[in-house]
Structure formats: C-alpha cells, structure tokens
Structure 1
C-alpha cells in the first residue's frame, strides 16, 4: 500500500508542496534543519529530491541568520547613536514656561566669584608660566612619562685603527708562511701576457682572513636563517683558529731558522684555498636559502 502523500494524492510531490511540511518537522535542540535521510524517510522521496529540499531549507536558514544579524547590528548602532536622555534638558511644560521676550545679557563672570543663578564657584583659567625671556613654558601632566631620548649608536671607526696593524701582521705572516710551503711567483697567463706575474702567497691572507671576517658578520647579524647562522658561527671560529695557528707556525719556523716547512704544515696550508672556496660557496647558498 502506498503511503499517503502531503496533498492526498499518490503521485510524487513537488518540492514546493513538501517545503512547508519539512519546515514543520520537529527537530532536536540546536539542529536548524533535518538531515537528508530523515527527509527521505518522512516523505518517501529519493536522494535527488531530498538533496534539493535540503538545499532550500539551508538557504532559508542562511537568509534568516543574515536578517537576524542585520537587525541586531541596526539595533546596536541605533542604541549607540542615540544620545542619553538628560533630565535637565527635558522640555519645560507650557504652563510653567517663561514669557517670551528679550532676556537681559548675562553679566560677565569674575574669576573667583559666583553668580546668583549658579552658586558653583568659577575657576579662573590656568595660564602657563613664562620664563624671564617671555617664552611660554609647557608644563606636562605629572602622570605622563617623559619620553626617553633615542640612544646614539656606538661608533665603529676605532675598528679601523685596530685593523690596520693586525692587517699588516697577518698579511706578512701568511705571505711568509706561503713562501716556506711552496707558494711563490707564478705567471698565470703564459703566451698571452708573459710579463704578468703574481705571488700566490697572497691568496692565503685574502682567503682565510676575509672569509673569517665575513662569516663572523653573518653569524652576529641575526638576519639569516638558523642553518646559515650555525654554519657561519662554527666556520668563523674555525677560520680564526686556523689563522692564529698559521701565524704561530710561521713565527716558530722563522725563529728556528727553518727555510722549508715540514710536510704536514705544507699539506695543511696548501688545502686552505680549496677549503675557503667550499665554505664560502656553502655559506652563500645557506644565506639565500629563505629566498
């Protein structure tokens, strides 16, 4: 036996006919509209028609929510814009109103005196004190904190004076150690510029000390990713330690009148340019990793 329909017929019901009955369904507290399964069970309809009916119920619920929010916002705005009622400003009844006519001009208020109509003493206006030169002195509120003047940045020019003698000593030490370990004058452009020559010993102070200073700057700047900061920290400390050991080795060899460095010192010094190149390239990639 076919279940009775909404309008008493046995034909499938249109959505417009099912919509009022769907609104009248009893729902649990907090549920704004029935589920699709309940619509299919209550009205003996298929899934497509239940989806269509549920979509209309959801649209009506959303419209009611927007309307309620708009009405609430208008009520709140009207309450904020409505000035409070002042009992002293209420209109005077007609029976007790003063006769219409010209009113005498009020007498000018004298500082420190009161008028008969208003017993409140009149406070004289405060005048800012002036200095002997006639300029007005601005007096601040006692509770207002005095702004702290910005601190001046520390000067850095003394670093130049410190770096000049260190540069001379480091340069001479590395160049001398390079001469003891096989670094010397070469012709980098044979057949092109035979007269052009360069002492390869200068690559040691330029590479090791320059990288140490740059890695130290990257480490202390605080403007690089964490991986680059850690790499710069340890490589800067290592580069400065290698530079110090290089100076110690050179002065010990010179003090002992050694004209040719031992093989292990020569090996360590000869790999420094390659190590500096690798660390510099790695640090450059880590610094730009966040880009």
Structure 2
C-alpha cells in the first residue's frame, strides 16, 4: 500500500513468498515488516492464518514521513529512535527482507497486541480509540525492534564483510538471480579479473563464481518445486534460466534426478548449502 508500513503476523501454517525477488518459505510464528518500497507476493500457502495492520509513519510521530526517513535528512534528535525503529520496514537488503521468527513468548505477546489493535479498530468505542491503538502499536514495534537489534548483533561479523568481493558478488546474486548475470559483469562489480575472482570463490565457498550462481538458482528452484504448484517451465524462468531444457539438464546433472522426479519426493534430497547439492 502507498505511504504505509505493514505488520503481518503469521500465526499458523506456512507460505512461500517473494519479497523483492527473494523467494523463501515462512513458517509460523513469524512477523513480516514491509513498506511501500517492497514488492511482495504470496506464491503458495498451506493452512495459513495471518493478520495485518497498516500505518503511516506519521502515526508514530507526526514529524515522520517516508521522505525524511533517510539518515542523511536531519530531524530533531529526540525523534531519531522512532525513525530508527522504522528501519525494519524501510531498510531491506540482501538476506534481510523484514522477516522475524518468534519464540513462543514473543509470539504470545505480539499476537495479543495485534488482537487488541484489531478489536479497537473494529469497535471504535469512544473518542480515544486511536490513542489506544497508537500506544499498542508502539508496544508492538518496540518488541519487534528488540528482536531486530538482537539479529543485527548476531549478523555483526557478516555485515563487517561488506568489502569482501565474494560477499559482494553473492549478495548481488541473491538479489538478482532471476536476471541475466555474467562473469564479466561480476568482475566489473568488484574490480577483479576472472582468475582472481574465481580463486577467491574457490577459497571461500569451494566453487567458482558461475557455479555458485547456478547452485543458488537450483536451490531456489528446489524451494519452488517443493512448496508451489508452479509449472516447471515457469520455475525455470523465475530462477533465471533462459531455456527450460537447460534448467532440466543442469538440475538432473547436479542432483541425479529430474525436476519432475524431485517434485514427487522433495524430502529425499538436500538443499544447496554453499558448497554442493547432493543426495541424502
């Protein structure tokens, strides 16, 4: 929705979703924080139960608008924390797309707040119902923000690798695997020649740059084969393969089984975890 942030509470079941070209299966209990900047699509779901609440940033603080949420834009210091709290919605990149998995205690607390927000929105019982919703919304955001901060601490060493050319390339692959990606482009991206870049990949992930791209695309295809009813030709296209025949050939070569056979028994094969795809 335009000019809105959205909290989605997944309380039951699971869904295969696509956020900004990232495809993954979300299993309850979880919270999704998305905004007008995100391209969100639910591809498939099973026994899914979810609730959502949309709000404009100014509902948190009157001075906050989408156009002044960037750090480079000065605002009153006392409102900086409130702006930082919206990073969960506005600063999606790489593997972080605003998805938070919850402990049972976190789920109970956030779900209770979401239920009360829904009840107040429906009842609108007196002149102060919007004030109560704002208070409960802040409590919800504070809780999710604590989870976000903890996750950022855990990712500290990964984030510190932003200057690593292999990390730069893999992040780009994760964001753009569905597009045409060439080795020449990735070399230009990190200012290395082909030999040096492939050596770095071999040292860190035990495969060449293009092998990593192929394996990542196959990993995404496995998720789609396992969790959606999309046609195999459509899966090939969504995963960046120009020709379904090439997709079938590479899938069979790496797993020793065709995509159709894999779909019949997806639990018999492991997902790509960074080094190779292999049978269990």
| RCO higher in structure (CA 8 A, sep ≥6) | 2
User: Which of the two has higher C-alpha Rg?
Assistant: 1
TM-score (norm 1): 0.23
TM-score (norm 2): 0.24
- More strand per residue: 2
